[in-house]
Amino acid sequence: MQSKPHTTYNKNRSKQAQSNSKVYRHRQQTTRTHHLDTRVFALGGLNEVGKNMYCIEHENELIIIDAGVKFAEDGLPGIDYVIPDYTYLVRNQKKIRGLFITHGHEDHIGGIPFLLQVVSVPFIYATPLAAAMIRRKLEEKRLTNQTTIVEIQSDSSIKTRFFNVGFFKTNHSIPESIGIVINTPNGRVVTTGDFKFDLTPVGDAADFQIMSFLGISGVTLLMSDSTNAEVPNFSISEKKVAMAVMEEFRKTDGRIIVATFASNVHRVQQIVEAGIKFNRKVLVLGRSMENTIQTARKLGYIKCPDRFFIKADQVNHFPDHEILILCTGSQGETLAALSRIAAGTHKYVSIKPGDTVVFSSSPIPGNAASINIVVNKLYRHGARVLTNSAFNNLHTSGHAGQEEQKLMLLLTKPKYFFPVHGEYRMLKIHAKSAEEVGIPEDHSFVLSNGDVIALRDGEAHFSHRIHVDDIYVDGNDISGLSTAVLRDRQILSEDGMVSVLVSMDSHSGQLLSRPIIISRGFIYMKDNIPMIREAEYLIQDELSQLIQTKTTFSEIKNTIRDKLSSYFYRKTKRNPIIIPVIMNKK
């Protein structure tokens, strides 16, 4: 079907990627793309989990698949999000025909408000739930007039001059997840989005027949989710999680507090349904959780009468066995509702003996320490705490394990394989799984963000690289200033700072004294006096010659930075921030 009439509107490579020539030897046999080639590349989502953004380009047309964010890790102080570098899209925005969304998770839609601030995207194509989530984001940022959101279904078809785009249903932890089929002049590209194979799903079944038909009719390049490439078996069905949740509700007499991902709509749906079955009033805490439930109820994915929902100031008006608190904070986030409850700083809810706290999630790598802090506080206040384990099935991943990834490869039978959405080891393991099911080793592309695959007449090869980078977002700033500030923080913490004081007379072209070098956090000055003196004389000799010619203060500062950077790295193998300070005699 046609969604709407207008749908016919036509830093250097990582060391790991460098060492991967065995996986794609044919990259050395190619140069740049021909103007008739179809180009496939990622601006985000490779060598990382998050900020997914993939592009397919042919002549004067370009389509984008997903626009996500990555949440800041512990090593990014003061940073809220990491987003892709949109420079290439800014330069080629006249080519952009649309942004296609696979599902409504933040690592696939969270970057849209930032993208629309700098790039003109005519249409965003998304299923109803994802479309509703995107609209809410754009309303909050006052960007609703920046694009047109077109709601699609799994049987929709979008045509441009060079691309014919179709869709198929997949299973994930959120309803309406889809894979995307892009027919191009040089072959068929299929992207799975995030997926798993759930034979007893909470929502609709996946389109196995379509996946199989794609394998029969031919797939040139498959892009497939690699997140759980290290998990050796099938993921647990959501139905088993629903049964485990029901069992905990059945045997619990006190208050139940459940923490999970707000975007895991299927899980939220099961928890709310369990609350209704056992006649518990539902208190929702956390803005993202409130937004998700409101949107999912409006679209019919969460069915619950209004009388079951209560406000925070009503929680003490009901007996404990009639209370269900559904909240954010399953990853130990400092400002999330559960963390504040555990710390005793929440305005309305505090832990008391007899409470049962359920973590219906698994720790994201790097969050285990934060979660343990919250768990210990909960125990200290007398709560019973349940976390996911092999014994209770309180959580299951929405991503395919190795055997499911192999099944996707066997169903679609791609000629070439491009593992995406995963850290480097995950991409490598996924490529190895592809080899096990018959994909030749040199037909898999384990790449980095910015690496371009060129399709030509049904054949694929590595072509070249476009410059991409991470952009660190502090608040709503995407100017890149936050990126520069963060890099300075990291350099200061690792290599320190060197300040160079230069006294000169620009009129006579003379230095008034030898430059003075002061170090903080780089070296211990008293133990390195000979090296500091040598560096001072080095700068003195360079500047004495430079300022006798016609020059600028900017050239003087750059000379100081260049000479000292190479000198200090040669001596210490470190790269401190170098700050020249020029004092000029008037």
At residue 507, the pLDDT reads 83
At residue 20, the pLDDT reads 44
Tokens of 138: 């754009």
Which among 399, 421, 443, 461 is annotated as catalytic?
399
pLDDT digit of tens for each residue in the chain (586 aa)? 444 433 332 333 343 444 443 433 343 344 455 668 999 999 999 999 889 999 999 999 999 999 999 887 666 666 778 899 999 999 999 999 999 999 999 999 999 999 999 999 999 999 999 999 999 999 988 999 999 999 999 999 999 999 999 999 999 989 999 999 999 999 999 999 999 999 988 889 999 999 999 999 999 999 999 999 999 988 888 888 888 889 889 999 999 999 998 888 988 998 999 999 999 999 999 988 999 999 999 999 988 899 999 999 999 999 999 999 999 998 888 888 999 999 999 999 999 999 999 998 877 766 788 889 999 999 999 999 988 665 567 778 889 999 999 999 999 999 999 999 999 999 999 999 999 999 999 999 999 999 999 999 999 999 999 988 888 887 656 555 556 666 676 677 778 889 999 999 888 888 999 999 998 888 887 888 899 999 999 999 999 888 888 888 888 999 999 899 889 988 888 888 899 999 988 7
Measured CA to CA, the distance from residue 182 to residue 262 in angstroms comes to 31
Which among 66, 225, 355, 451 is annotated as catalytic?
225
442, 446, 451, 452: CA torsion to nearest 10: 40
Which residue, among 184, 206, 188, has the nearest Cα to 197 in the 3D structure?
A: 206
539, 501 contact by CB (below 8 A): no
Q: Which residues lie closer than 8 Å to 432 by C-beta, 6 or more apart?
A: none
Residue 164 carries which side chain, given as an amino acid letter? N
Measured CA to CA, the distance from residue 238 to residue 267 in angstroms comes to 8
Q: SS3 for 511-567, per residue?
A: ECCCCEEEEECCCCHHHHHHHHHHHHHHHHHHHHHHCCCCCCHHHHHHHHHHHHHHH
Phi, psi of 330 (to 5 degrees): -70, -15
542, 575 contact by CB (below 8 A): no
Rg (CA), the chain: 28
557, 559, 563, 569: CA torsion to nearest 10: 50
461, 30 contact by CB (below 8 A): yes
Tokens of 309: 């929902």
State the DSSP string of 352-400. Answer: -TT-EEEE-S-PPTT-HHHHHHHHHHHHHTT-EEE---TTT-----SS-
Measured CA to CA, the distance from residue 289 to residue 575 in angstroms comes to 44
Residue 421: CB atoms within 10 A of its CB come to: 32
Q: SS3 for 403-453, per residue?
A: HHHHHHHHHHCEEEEEEECECHHHHHHHHHHHHHCCCCHHHECCCCCCEEE
Map out the domains of the chain as residue ranges. Answer: 32-233+397-471, 238-386, 481-584
Which residue, among 497, 507, 503, 509, has the nearest Cα to 561 in the 3D structure?
A: 497
Measured CA to CA, the distance from residue 386 to residue 375 in angstroms comes to 9
Measured CA to CA, the distance from residue 239 to residue 270 in angstroms comes to 9
Terminal-to-terminal C-alpha distance of the chain: 76
Side-chain-facing half-sphere of 490: CA atoms under 13 Å: 13
In the residue annotation, 399 being an active-site residue is answered as yes
At residue 537, the pLDDT reads 92
In the residue annotation, 495 being an active-site residue is answered as no
SS3 of residue 90 by DSSP: helix
284, 293 contact by CB (below 8 A): yes
Residue 543: CB atoms within 10 A of its CB come to: 23
State the architecture of 481-584 in CATH terms. Roll (3.10)
Measured CA to CA, the distance from residue 356 to residue 351 in angstroms comes to 9
Measured CA to CA, the distance from residue 285 to residue 314 in angstroms comes to 13
SS3 of residue 293 by DSSP: helix
At residue 476, the pLDDT reads 57
Residue 316 DSSP code: G
Would you identify the CATH topology of the domain 32-233+397-471? Answer: Metallo-beta-lactamase; Chain A (3.60.15)
Measured CA to CA, the distance from residue 229 to residue 232 in angstroms comes to 7
Q: What region, left, alpha or beta, does residue 59 occupy, with left being phi > 0 and alpha being psi -120 to 50 degrees?
A: left
Report in angstroms the alpha-carbon separations of 257 from 225, 272, 301, 397, 452. Answer: 32, 12, 22, 21, 47
Q: Name the H helices within 182-264.
A: 208-217, 238-251
Tell me how many degrees the CA angle 341-347-353 measures, rounded to the nearest 5: 45
Q: At what angle do helices 402-412 and 424-436 cross, to 10 degrees?
A: 50
Would you identify the CATH topology of the domain 238-386? Answer: Rossmann fold (3.40.50)
